[in-house]
Chain A
Amino acid sequence: MSTTAPATTPRPLGADTKTGPVQALLRRRGLAKLLLLAVVAAVLVPLVHAQWPSTLWPSDLTVDLSGPLGKASDWIIDNRDSHWLFLYFLGHLSNAVVISVRAVYLVLLALGWAGVVAGAALIAWRVAGVRLAALTVASFGLCGLLGMWVPTMQTLALMVVAVVAAVVLGMLMGLAAGLSDRVFRILRPVLDTMQVLPAFSYLLPVALIFGVGVPAAVFATVIYAAPPMARLTALGLRGADAGVMEAVTSLGTTARQRLFSARLPLARKELLLGLNQTIMMALSMAVIASMIGGAGLGDRVYQALGTVDVGAALAAGIPIVLLAVVLDRVTGAAGERLGANAEDTSVLRGWRGWSLAGLGTVVVALAVRFAGLLDWPASWTVDIVEPVNTAKEWMVDHLYTGVPVVGGTADWAAHFTTWVLNPVRDGLQGLPWWSVLLVVAALAWLIGTWQTALTAVLAMAGIGVLGVWDKSLDTLAQVLAAVAVTVVLGFAIGIATARSARLERLLRPVLDIFQTMPQFVYLIPVVALFGIGRAPAVAAAVVYALPAVIRITTQGLRQVDAGAMEASSSLGATSWQQLRQVQLPLARPALLLALNQAVVLVLAVVVIGALVGGGALGYDVVFGIAQGDLATGMVGGVAIVCLGLVLDRVTQPTARRESGSTKGA
């Protein structure tokens, strides 16, 4: 268990004299933890082994929830039209959603396509400038060209309602947490955890309560998208400059005045960042929620995936990507403008610009209405389905299998399944269950505190108790394989970009786009390339997680203290030595963060991979939704949550010892 801890201090400003002892102490502490764990194991394992000698999770220790969950589901269906809970509470919520989505949708339809394009462009112009307005026009135009105007409007209507609700909910929670320490302490771990959970696990509970349809989709989206708003609001409020607050208080202001005149304005950067994140998460969820009746663009992708119609999936996928890019850029630019605090000196500032924008929208909308061009003209569409499918057929015929020397993509997928996924899965499933718990405990404890270790072990044990041990290890095997590939590729590309400014400039727009795409979209190309099975699920996960890993690695390497670099090169280190002995060790916290992100992002996609034959836990959720067997689906969903917790805890160095942690993967 020796470590290769760096001799230098990870913190650029750390005092050199303290480094040695601190590192030594940490190393010894890690050793002590392992020893203690080994002692505990030595006592417990023989006992446990004598009791339950099998390698799989003992069946005595499982709880079969399918009975009670099935009953709950039946009860809900039978009482949905009679019980007060549904009639007087949930029914109203559901109605409110339907009415608001419908209202927004009708407004969008009434504006007509030209009105919507003009309105969106004018808003983009007001908050983010002319260039982004042009981007907005181009993107919406392309959505129409692809023949996706109506689904785009349906998704947009659902998004508007979900984002407004998520922002209001998030702000309220954030205000509470920002103003009260106790609320903050309670909410923080909850919000942190919610951020690492895969979107997939939110689907079933809402579908169970509200039934399949738009209300369920909206609620899933709100629950998924509200945490970042709450977190950032709380952080923004708490981060208010103490000096400013002191000054404001000394002026004799009331608490409310302080909140509205100082705290909130000071936090507006965080608020806008929160809005941006909420919108992006809402979009990615709104698309996945098509599985529970969300309609719109996601539904088109879902339908197309069901028939492996890559062309149709792409035709619906492109508008999703465009929406994502436009929403991200416009809210991001708005945030930067505010942050820059530049005085707007043009004639059109403030209400004048806005009323001009409103007027423009109304004029355009009326013009097309009288011209009778309310719907997107059918002749203005380009059919990409057939050419894409022809191209895909060509790929299947020529790249799929039997390509000389390199083999085909389907062959790679088969080899990857046989030589990597199967051995890893069988290896994990062959481990005695208690040893898996021990490994989880050891990893989580070494990297964090005893609390994180306890959480991780309990979560892992929870999976066993739920009776899905086997499947969870299958999912885990897919996650491990995908993370390994992601980290190797991500670190390699990250190192390359950190050393070459030109490469970074080239990569940046690509990474930007990849990072804003909803998870769902990644399934389309991998099905075309790798067919069906676990390998395409892993491939989609790698592509999804890669940009974040590259970005964090690059930033981490770039931020290495210039002094240390200078010193090492003056000592005559070659650039390879510099990288290996100075940059990488110093960037360790960033690399660990990258690993943690990789794990979280990969898990989110691997479970969605069940739609393309990934099997395992995700399949239980898909099956639960497909068969209306909510018991199976819920158990699968909870197990995914547990697995997410375990994976996050064993890779997440606690902030307290972030710089000193010496164990990674």
Chain B
Amino acid sequence: MRVSTRAVSTMTAVGALLALSGCGAADMTKQASPYANAAGAKTVTLSVQSWVGAQADVSVAEYLLKHELGYRVDRVQIDEVPAWDALSQGRVDAIMEDWGHPEQEQRYVKDKKTITAGGGVGVTGHIGWYVPTYFAKKHPDITNWKNLDKYAKQFRTAESGGQGQLMDGSPSYVTNDKALVKNLDLDYKVVFAGSEAAQITQIKQFAKAKKPFLTYWYKPQWLFDKVPMTEVKLPEYKEGCDADPKKIKCGYPHTPLQKYFNSNFAKHGGKAAAFLKNFKWSQADQNEVALDIADKKMSPEDAAKKWVEGHKSTWQAWLPK
């Protein structure tokens, strides 16, 4: 009996394999999310990054897609680099704000052509190191990185131990800080808050107590309206100075932020694709929505609604004819 049991199970296994591979090749790089387009709805899946500026982009796009064009919008939170992978596989239709990933751009846009550039967001981003303005006013020479070591003592915390603390936010953001601290030979330790929100909480607490702090931060960002901060000048960015991340010794560039679409969506995405391609607004617009979401604690949808109601002329131009 043993033998026949085994024979039966072998046959089942072979059968299962045949059934699996019977329909030929299956390309998993062209696979939508199982939740997309459910029950006949037209769905657009947007990748939303964790910083509030990107949430503002996505919320306004989502609101207009829903209410003006009749789409259902799924938002997926994926970190930046995996989002490129998901975008190329079609699990996400669009990334609304990218801060520059040359390696991924080369691979997916130029080589594999699975992703299409979608034009600029209209906002230029800049990453840098910042100290609170109340501290910079007292110690004006801190705005040069060469003097940072002089103040390292005042930036100590429980997490940084004997060195000064350089606060970084989310592990997913573009950062060279660890290498910079090492290569510029600074008496600082990079401490990751774990997320941008955690970093903001800490900055606010420091500011409330008027304590000095040094943080990785970026513009445009609504927090500057709440906690004025002054940039510490790092060695100037020159084209290609960040080519080898391990040897980097320069600050961050000014990056015009970009949109990216899945190539298939860009071609066959109809009105939604045309709309997202036209989407372009100013730094002030983005900050307005971001401030409502992050500081006034409005839900992204309400914040988007408020902006949409006040800026009809701006978004009317985005709607496909």
Contacts and interface: CB of A to CB of B under 8 A. Distances in A.
Contact of A91 (B25, B50, B79, B170): B25
Interface stretch (A38-46, A208-216, A222-230, A509-517): A208-216
A98 B31 contact: yes
Contact of A628 (B33, B81, B196, B197): B81
B192 interface: yes
A149 to B, nearest CB: 13
A295 interface: yes
A299 interface: yes
Interface in B48-81: 48, 50, 52, 76-81
A81 B264 CA distance: 15
Given A102-B34, A306-B170, A626-B79, A255 B1 contact: yes
A570 interface: no
Contacts of B82: 207, 211-212, 292-293, 625-626, 628
Nearest to A375: B39
Contacts of B201: 308, 531-532
Given A88-B21, A303-B77, A625-B82, A295 B35 contact: yes
Contact of A611 (B5, B89, B194, B294): B194
Contacts of B193: 532, 613
Interface string B282-305: 000000000000100101000000
Interface-central residue, A90, A109, A308, A611, by most chain B CB under 10 Å = A308
Contacts of B1: 254-256
A532 B202 contact: yes
Contacts of B297: 386, 389
B172 interface: yes
Interface string B1-45: 110010000000000000011011111111111110011000000
A627 B172 contact: yes
* Secondary structure dominating the interface of B: loop
Interface in A614-647: 614-615, 619, 622-623, 625-629
B243 interface: no
Contacts of B221: none
A106 B38 contact: yes
Nearest to A259: B5
A87 B197 CA distance: 41
Contacts of A622: 171, 194
How many residues of A sit at the interface, in one of the four size bands? 35 or more
A309 B197 contact: yes
Nearest to B194: A613
Interface string A87-119: 111111111111101100110011000000000
Contact of A211 (B79, B85, B202): B85
Contact of B38 (A91, A105, A309): A105
B159 A307 contact: no
A612 interface: yes
A471 B107 CA distance: 32
Interface string A389-405: 10000000000000000
A232 interface: no
B249 interface: no
Contact of B26 (A91, A386, A629): A91
A422 interface: yes
A619 B5 contact: no
Given A299-B76, A305-B195, A293 B29 contact: no
B197 A306 contact: yes
A110 B35 CA distance: 13
A233 to B, nearest CB: 16
A610 B38 CA distance: 35
B29 A80 contact: yes
Interface of B: 1-2, 5, 20-21, 23-35, 38-39, 48, 50, 52, 76-82, 84-86, 89, 91, 107, 112, 158-159, 161, 170-172, 192-198, 200-202, 294, 297, 299
Lowest 10 A-B CB distances belong to which pairs?
Answer: A628-B81, A91-B26, A626-B172, A308-B197, A613-B194, A102-B34, A626-B79, A87-B25, A532-B198, A81-B29
22 contacts: A91-B26, A94-B28, A95-B28, A98-B33, A211-B91, A213-B33, A303-B50, A306-B50, A306-B195, A307-B50, A309-B197, A414-B158, A417-B158, A532-B195, A533-B159, A612-B195, A613-B193, A619-B192, A623-B172, A626-B80, A626-B81, A627-B79
